[in-house]
């Protein structure tokens, strides 16, 4: 019953940021590219048109732009000794589904990761000694340096229309930018957005305390912009409906308005929506992929799409799932610590933030963008920050954004206020406009037990095993949050609020409340098949004509958001395929 289709050069699984970049770059190079997107077609008009897009219930609460867990989800437990149960509804993170993927409904924070991130193991070994790294923390260096990736970061920033202020151009520090950033070749394509009142207060307070505040880089266009490919972005209107929504103004750098239309203009590119890839097909040696099997979920018909190159560009979680379902690489076993695929799952601990309440200040939290903000990196990118003081690896940024003053989700009240009734109403009415938040976003180091494998019990709609996630916040995370949260509280107190809540302690990981869609690892890159699933070109060591893009490749998670390096690495991989693999297929060195 399966229809076998004609072979193409490249089949791309999932058409978000990474799939879109690959689709554009490879089809423009004349390769025949088919993209299979399991969700539907969508675009700014009419799908994200006002007024309907400003529907908090539909988009921010019922998650209408995201993966539908009724069809496929994962199971979750804190440790290998506990029963793993399905994540029956979305909560903690929101994988995308449909054209553009999560790149449609992200906030837009677009970092270049730090020099320490690129050299995660060697930095700590050199500065603090080998014994500083716990034996159950399998951190490792990235297989390429920041300097190697710099031109690709630059390319992604220009594609996505990132607004910001450089802190270091070719070694010269720039006033107003991130004092601790790695050298960049040139400034951001767009100036920083206008700061909110809360951000100005934070900026001034942290500067006075001797920290180094700067505008957080964000793919919310501060003015109308045409990117190098000729894609047009509008200017951000600070509407406060960014994360979980599509942007009606085309002001959020998103693949559906940039790289995807460019790919679609190429005759050698074909998009098939509602096409759910269930497996990468391998030949009898298991060393070569021959294509993918997929189901058209609008008809139920099954297809095989042969291809010379298979690029997994689904959401980070689903890439790992597909590898395990397809038998690409050796599955990781936390008990024996043998195998690779599924290893080093990381997330992003928060919880160290504080909310400040002022009798006499008005913050208008609805005047907001997804990503604008003022941050300090003194406890993260700063390689002089003494990690021995907190007895932990990694760090955290402290920041003030203002992204979601929407009233179902954002209703700050002082500690001790009831959750309902007359006193709750009075407090909500009083404080909605008069509160601001200082956030703490921490890095997350891998642990041997924080990993994915296939669930032995639960199945998806195709009868395949769900992915099983074993994960918890651990000692290192609690120390980082505990330490940096106190710094955030000091900053907050210097602003003399009438009262403040937090910082809280980091407890067990909870999959219910939203935290971030920053799931990393599982198909990690590294220097050898012994320590990684992918080489430096995100190419499978085991099946070299399979490439696995996205944050699944990160061996640990930074205190930064993942999309900057996700985009940069997609351009990096596209380049390697065009200039190396295409001429000489096989494992690249």
Partner 1 sequence: MKNKNRRDFLKTVGTVGATGIAAAVGGDTSVAGQSPAGSPAGRVLLDPAGGPVSHAYTFLTAPEAAFIEAAVDRFIPADDLTPGGTDCGVAVFIDRQLAGAWGSGDRTYMQGPWQKGVPTQGYQSPLTPAEFFRAGIAATNAYCRKTLQKDFDRLTVEQQNKVLQDMEQGRVTFEGTVPAQEFFNLLLGTAMQGFFADPIYGGNRDKAAWKMIGFPGVIAIYSEHIKTYRNKKYDVEPKSILDLS
Catalytic residues: 518
Residue 419 binds partner 1 (CB under 8 A): yes
Residue 428 within binding range of partner 1, rule CB under 8 A: yes
If you count them, how many residues does the chain have? 589
- DSSP run (H or E) holding 3: strand 3-4
Instruction: Report, in Å, the least distance between residue 374 CB and partner 1.
Output: 14
Closer Cβ to partner 1, 405 or 565, answer by number: 405
Listed residue (238, 250, 229) closest to 104, CA to CA: 250
How far apart, in whole angstroms, are the C-alpha atoms of residue 69 and residue 499?
40
Question: 20: helix, coil or strand?
Answer: helix
- Mark residues 97-136: x for contact with partner 1 by CB under 8 A, - for none: ----------------------------------------
In the shown chain, the binding pattern of residues 212 to 241 toward partner 1, with x for contact by CB under 8 A and - for none, equals -----------------------xxxxxxx
463 scored as a contact of partner 1 (CB under 8 A): no
Q: Note whether 1 binds partner 1 by CB under 8 A.
A: no
Gap between the Cα atoms of 247 and 294, Å rounded: 30
Asked if 454 is part of the footprint of partner 1 (rule: CB under 8 A), the reply reads: no
CB 55 within 8 A of CB 409: no
Is the CB of residue 206 less than 8 Å from the CB of residue 412?
no
Judged by CB, which is closer to partner 1: 173, or 223?
223
Which of 31, 65, 90, 292 forms a contact with partner 1 (CB under 8 A)?
90
**Ranges within 490-529 binding partner 1 (CB under 8 A):** 508-512
Q: What are phi and psi of 233, to 5 degrees?
A: -115, 145
Instruction: Using CB under 8 A, pick the residue from 128, 385, 458, 514 that binds partner 1.
Output: 458
> Would you call the peptide bond into 174 cis, given omega within 30 degrees of 0 as the criterion?
no
Six-digit token string for 100: 């553009």
**Closer by beta carbon to partner 1, 200 or else 265:** 200
Q: Contacting partner 1 (CB under 8 A), which of 43, 86, 183, 585?
A: 86
| Among 118-126, 291-299, 405-413, 576-584, the segment contacting partner 1 (CB under 8 A) | 405-413
User: Tokens at residue 342, please?
Assistant: 């599924």
Cα(442)–Cα(347) distance, rounded to whole angstroms? Answer: 9
Nearer to partner 1, 62 or 173 (CB): 62
Near partner 1 by CB under 8 A: residue from 4, 429, 490, 528 = 429
Of 171, 267, 420, 589, which lies in the binding site for partner 1, with binding defined by CB under 8 A? 420
Site string for partner 1, 367-396 (x = CB under 8 A): x-----------------------------
Quote the CA–CA distance of 226 and 233 in Å, as a whole number: 6
Nearest CA among 160, 559, 211, 205 for reference residue 376: 211
**Does the protein bind partner 1 through residue 265 (CB under 8 A)?**
no
Tell me, by CB under 8 A, how many residues bind partner 1. 67
Contact 405, 240 (CB under 8 A): yes
Is 144 near partner 1 (CB under 8 A)?
no
| DSSP class of 568 | H
**Which x/- pattern, by CB under 8 A, does the window 47-66 give for partner 1?**
---xxx-xxxx---xxx---
Please name the residue ranges forming H helices in 435-515.
475-494
Smallest gap from Cβ 295 to partner 1, in A, equals 18
Cα gap 426→417, rounded to integer Å? 10
Q: How far is CA 164 from CA 110, 217, 246, 372, in A?
A: 9, 5, 22, 9
d(CA 479, CA 391): 7
Rule CB under 8 A: is residue 73 a binding residue for partner 1?
A: yes
Question: According to CB under 8 A, which residues from 187 to 206 bind partner 1?
Answer: 193-194, 196-197, 200
Ramachandran category for residue 550: left, alpha or beta (phi over 0 → left; psi -120 to 50 → alpha): left
Q: Is there binding between residue 33 and partner 1 (CB under 8 A)?
A: no
Determine if 80 is a binding residue for partner 1 (CB under 8 A): no
* Contact predicate 13/295, CB 8 Å: no
Show contacts with partner 1 in window 339-368 (CB under 8 A): 361-364, 366-367
Minimum separation from the CB atom of position 444 to partner 1 (A): 17
Residue 69 makes contact with partner 1 by CB under 8 A: yes
Element (H, E) at 127: helix 120-128
Which region among 109-117, 275-283, 416-424, 441-449 touches partner 1 (by CB under 8 A)?
416-424
Distance of closest approach, residue 166 Cβ to partner 1, in angstroms? 23
Structure token digits, residue 396: 């955290």
| Pairing assessment for the beta strands 33-36 and 74-77 based on DSSP bridges | unpaired
Helix (H) or strand (E) holding 44: helix 44-47
Q: Does residue 457 bind partner 1 (CB under 8 A)?
A: yes
Q: Write down the least CB distance from residue 447 to partner 1, Å.
A: 17
> 367 or 454, CB closer to partner 1?
367
Cα angle value 452/568/446 (rounded, 5°) = 30
Residues near partner 1 (CB under 8 A) are 50-52, 54-57, 61-63, 68-70, 73, 76-78, 82-83, 85-91, 193-194, 196-197, 200, 235-241, 361-364, 366-367, 405-408, 411, 419-422, 425-426, 428-429, 432-433, 457-459, 508-512
């Amino acid at each position: 019953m399966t229809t076998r289709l004609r072979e193409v050069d490249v089949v791309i699984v999932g058409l978000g940021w990474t799939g879109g970049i690959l689709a554009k770059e490879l089809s423009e190079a004349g390769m025949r590219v088919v993209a299979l997107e399991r969700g539907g077609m969508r675009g700014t008009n009419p799908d994200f048109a006002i007024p309907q897009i400003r529907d908090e219930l539909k988009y921010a609460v019922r998650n209408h732009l995201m993966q539908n867990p009724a069809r496929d989800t994962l199971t979750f437990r804190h440790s290998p000794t506990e029963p793993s149960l399905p994540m029956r509804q979305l909560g903690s993170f929101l994988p995308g589904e449909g054209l553009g993927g999560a790149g449609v409904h992200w906030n837009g924070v677009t970092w270049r990761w730090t020099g320490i991130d690129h050299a995660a193991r060697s930095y700590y070994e050199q500065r603090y000694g080998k014994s500083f790294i716990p034996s159950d923390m399998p951190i490792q260096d990235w297989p390429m340096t920041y300097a190697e990736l710099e031109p690709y970061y630059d390319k992604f920033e220009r594609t996505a229309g990132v607004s910001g202020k450089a802190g270091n151009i070719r070694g010269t520090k720039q006033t107003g930018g991130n004092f601790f950033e790695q050298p960049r070749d040139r400034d951001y394509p767009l100036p920083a957005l206008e700061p909110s009142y809360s951000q100005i207060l934070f900026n001034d307070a942290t500067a006075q305390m001797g920290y180094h505040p700067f505008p957080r880089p964000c793919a919310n266009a501060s003015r109308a912009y045409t990117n190098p490919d000729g894609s047009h972005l509008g200017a951000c209107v600070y509407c406060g409906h960014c994360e979980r929504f599509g942007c009606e103004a085309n002001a959020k750098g998103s693949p559906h308005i940039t790289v995807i239309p460019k790919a679609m203009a190429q005759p050698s590119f074909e998009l098939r929506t509602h096409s759910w890839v269930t497996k990468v097909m391998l030949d009898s040696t298991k060393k070569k992929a021959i294509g993918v099997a997929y189901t058209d979920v609008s008809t139920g018909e099954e297809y095989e799409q042969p291809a010379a190159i298979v690029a997994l560009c689904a959401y980070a979680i689903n890439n790992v799932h597909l590898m395990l379902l397809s038998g690409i690489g050796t599955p990781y076993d936390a008990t024996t610590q043998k195998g690779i695929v599924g290893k080093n799952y990381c997330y992003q601990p928060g919880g160290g933030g504080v909310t400040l309440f002022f009798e006499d200040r008005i913050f208008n939290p609805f005047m907001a963008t997804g990503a604008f903000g003022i941050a300090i990196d003194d406890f993260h990118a700063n390689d002089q920050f003494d990690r021995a003081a907190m007895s932990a690896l990694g760090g955290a940024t402290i920041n003030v954004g203002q992204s979601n003053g929407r009233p179902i989700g954002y209703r700050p009240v002082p500690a001790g206020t009831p959750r309902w009734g007359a006193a709750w109403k009075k407090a909500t009415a009083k404080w909605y406009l008069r509160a601001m938040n200082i956030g703490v976003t921490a890095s997350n180091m891998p642990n041997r037990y924080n990993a994915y494998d296939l669930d032995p019990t639960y199945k998806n709609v195709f009868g395949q095993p769900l992915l099983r996630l074993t994960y918890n916040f651990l000692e290192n995370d609690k120390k980082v949050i505990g330490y940096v949260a106190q710094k955030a509280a000091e900053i907050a107190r210097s602003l003399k609020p009438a009262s403040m809540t937090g910082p809280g302690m980091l407890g067990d990981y909870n999959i219910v409340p939203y935290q971030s869609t920053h799931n990393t690892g599982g198909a990690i890159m590294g220097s050898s098949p012994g320590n990684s699933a992918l080489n430096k070109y995100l190419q499978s060591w085991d099946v070299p004509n399979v490439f696995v893009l996205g944050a699944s490749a990160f061996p640990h998670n930074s205190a930064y958001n993942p999309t900057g390096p996700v985009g940069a690495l997609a351009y990096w991989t596209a380049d390697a395929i065009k200039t190396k693999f295409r001429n000489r297929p096989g494992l690249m060195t």
